[in-house]
């Protein structure tokens, strides 16, 4: 059971990027200060064989050649805000757009693009690292200075917990998540995630338009490829014909829950070959399931591997996309000085 730090590289302006390694409870997690990103996560299979199950890079340059959000903490607002604008208290707030006409994952300079500072680190029975990020008022046009915290802890056998917090000096939307790409057979495994079995215990999802903005009200998953309530092989669901699958060439949709505040099991992922199972818990109102269809084989992966289409998937607990523009969606406005909190647990078996 340990926590240690080592250099990972330098940013183009010379700022150092460090890597913190946590070891305990049968897991080894590596977190880099660039984006407070989970760079590697080694998990045993049914025979005790360890394998890295998240996508990432071996050096800083791998994270700078293109913005893929590998393992990063996302903020100030995860997912999309339509048209790069929203209205709060009668004032229109305009944000930079970086995903067609929309603002995605906090804009072009979101939390994932910054070097965070290690505020605390400790070994022992529950080793952890806590990283902080402070941004001035108007960063990416969001109102108010913001201070964010991300704490990774190995809390129990096979469990990695990510605690997220943020406070802003002005009222505004905050929506944070972890953006790890998982392949339980191993990062870069040639078979991708088609054979993984996924269960999502949600009865509704948000259909999207051609720019991936939610359109209309939540829709029932019943009778559609989006129904994972009883567990389904992802490849089989991708093969089904559905207009919503055709929008993005796969899954990139929010699953809806009725409330938030109490931790719930949101998703279970199982890979038959290795026997690894991942359970994702969260206390927020939604889960974004992304099937990795935009991975194009050009990413500089770890160990010289490349990450291709459907090579990994993301299960991102968060509040609903475009909520600042949708009064019928769960409220995401955090009052000035109040603390936003979000806990995600990744439990492996």
Residues noted as catalytic: 179, 316
Quick check: 205 and 254 in contact, CB under 8 A? yes
Q: Could you tell me where the beta strands, DSSP code E, fall in 60-182?
A: 72-74, 80-81, 85-88, 91-94, 103-104, 117-122, 128-135, 146-156, 159-168, 172-173, 177-179, 181-182
Q: Which of 140, 105, 109, 119 shows the shortest CA–CA distance to 31?
A: 119
**Token pair for residue 155?**
């809390």
Q: Give 128-134's long-range contacts (Cβ < 8 A, gap of 24+).
A: 128/3, 128/22, 128/152, 128/153, 128/154, 129/3, 129/20, 129/22, 129/31, 131/31, 131/33, 131/36, 133/36
Alpha helix (H) residue ranges in the chain: 60-64, 234-238, 243-248
DSSP state, residue 30:
E
Quick count: other Cβ atoms within 10 Å of Cβ 190? 10
């Amino acid at each position: 059971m340990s926590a240690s730090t080592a250099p990972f590289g330098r940013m183009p302006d010379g700022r150092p990027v460090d890597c913190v390694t946590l070891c305990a409870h049968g897991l080894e997690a590596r977190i880099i200060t660039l984006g407070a990103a989970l760079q590697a996560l080694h998990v045993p299979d049914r025979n005790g064989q360890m394998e890295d199950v998240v996508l990432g890079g071996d050096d800083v340059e791998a994270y700078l050649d293109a913005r893929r959000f590998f393992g990063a903490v996302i903020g100030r607002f995860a997912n999309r805000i339509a048209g790069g604008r929203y209205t709060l208290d009668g004032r229109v707030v305009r944000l930079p757009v970086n995903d067609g006409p929309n603002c995605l994952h906090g804009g072009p300079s979101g939390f994932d693009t910054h070097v965070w500072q290690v505020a605390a680190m400790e070994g022992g029975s529950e080793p952890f690292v806590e990283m902080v990020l402070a941004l001035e008022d108007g960063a990416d046009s969001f109102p108010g200075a913001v201070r964010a915290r991300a704490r990774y802890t190995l809390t129990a056998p096979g469990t990695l917990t990510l605690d997220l917090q943020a406070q802003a000096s002005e009222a505004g939307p905050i929506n944070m998540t972890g953006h790890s790409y998982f392949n339980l057979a191993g990062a870069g495994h040639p078979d991708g995630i088609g054979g993984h079995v996924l269960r999502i215990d949600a009865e509704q999802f948000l259909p999207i338009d051609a720019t991936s903005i939610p359109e209309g009200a939540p829709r029932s998953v019943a009778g559609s490829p989006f129904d994972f309530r009883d567990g389904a092989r992802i490849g089989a669901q991708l093969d089904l014909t559905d207009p919503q699958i055709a929008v993005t060439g796969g899954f990139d949709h929010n699953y809806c829950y009725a409330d938030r505040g109490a931790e719930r099991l949101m998703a279970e992922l199982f890979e038959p070959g290795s026997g690894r199972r991942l359970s994702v818990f969260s206390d927020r109102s939604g889960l974004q399931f992304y099937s990795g269809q935009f991975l194009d084989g050009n990413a500089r992966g770890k160990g010289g591997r490349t990450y291709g289409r459907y090579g990994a998937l993301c299960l991102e607990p968060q509040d609903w996309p475009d909520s600042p523009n949708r009064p019928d969606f769960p409220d995401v406005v955090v009052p000035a000085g109040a603390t936003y909190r979000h806990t995600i647990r990744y439990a492996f078996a």
